[in-house]
Amino acid sequence: MIRLEEINKVFYKKNKEIQALKNVSLEIDSGEIFGIIGYSGSGKSTLVRTINLLERPTSGRIFLSNDEITHYSDKQLIPFRRKIGMIFQHFNLLSSQSVFDNIAFPLTLTGMPKEQIRQRVNELLSLIDLLEKAEDYPASLSGGQKQRVAIARALASDPEILLCDEATSALDPQTTRSILSLLKRINRELGITIVLITHQMEVVRAICQRVAVISQGEIIETNETEALFQQAQSPITNELLNPSLFID
C-alpha cells in the first residue's frame, strides 16, 4: 500500500512562494491501477514524484507498506526506490545504447552477473514483444516501441510499484491502446501496483480502477472510475470528463 498523509510541497521562485501541493492525503491499495487526473499545472506530476521522494514534501508523511520513508536519507531510500519503477512521457532512453543495453542499465548498476542480466533482459524483451529489436538503437524505433523499452527498463529491477507520468501523452490513439493493454497485462500477471498520471480521460476509463482528481495542488475528488464518470461531484471533474461541453 502507498499512503500519503497531509502532503504539502512549496517551491520558491525569485522569492515567490508557490504551493504545488496542499494537504494531499491518498491511499493506494497494493495491486490496483490508480489514476491521478488534472489539468496542466495542477500538481499531478509533483504528486507522483513525492511517492519515491524525487520531490521531498515540505511537510506531511509518506508510507510504503508500513514503512514511513519521509525523512529517509538518499542512502536509506536506495532499497525502496528499487521497488518503484517509473516511466515518462518522453521515454528518457539512452540514445547511444542498444535496446538490450537500455533495459540492462539499472541491472548493471547493481552489479548483477552478466548471465543473469542477459536472462532477465530477454524475459522483458519477450514481455514487451520486442525480442527482434534487442540490438537496435532508440532512433530506429517508433514512439510506441520506445515506450515499451522504457517500461521494460522500469521493470528490470522487479519493482512492486510502477509510476507512469503522462506515459501515453506523446502517442497516437492506436499506440496508446497497445501501451495500455501492456500495462494491464503487467498489472494482472505480475501484480504490480500502477499509479498513472494523465489528463487523458479515455486513458483513465480504459485502465484505472480508482481515480483522484487534483486541481491547484488539492485533491478535490476520489472515487472508483465508473462512479466518477457517472456521478462526478466537482465542476472541475465535469469539465475534465466532458471538455466539449465547456468550449467558449
Helix (H, G, I), strand (E, B) or coil at 247: coil
What's the pLDDT at 13? 84
2-245: CATH topology? Rossmann fold (3.40.50)
Band of residue 243 on the pLDDT scale cut at 50, 70, 90: low
Distance CA 221, CA 219 (A): 6
The residue ranges of every structural domain in the chain are 2-245
Q: Strands, E, within 134-217: which ranges? A: 161-165, 193-198, 210-215
3-state helix, strand, coil in the chain (%, to 5): 40, 25, 30
DSSP classification of residue 60 = E
Distance CA 82, CA 87 (A): 14
* For residues 78-99, average pLDDT: 90
Could you report the per-residue pLDDT of 18-34, keeping only the tens digit for each?
A: 999 999 999 999 999 99
Distance CA 113, CA 165 (A): 31
Backbone angles phi, psi at 201, to 5 degrees: -65, -35
Helix ranges, 26-113 (H): 44-51, 74-81, 99-109
DSSP secondary structure string for all residues of 15-33: TEEEEEEEEEEEEE-TT-E
Helix (H, G, I), strand (E, B) or coil at 91: coil
Could you report the per-residue pLDDT of 167-187, keeping only the tens digit for each?
A: 888 888 899 999 999 999 999
Is 238's pLDDT higher than 80? Answer: yes
What are the grid coordinates assigned to 133, written together? Answer: 529489436
Output the pTM of the full model. Answer: 0.91
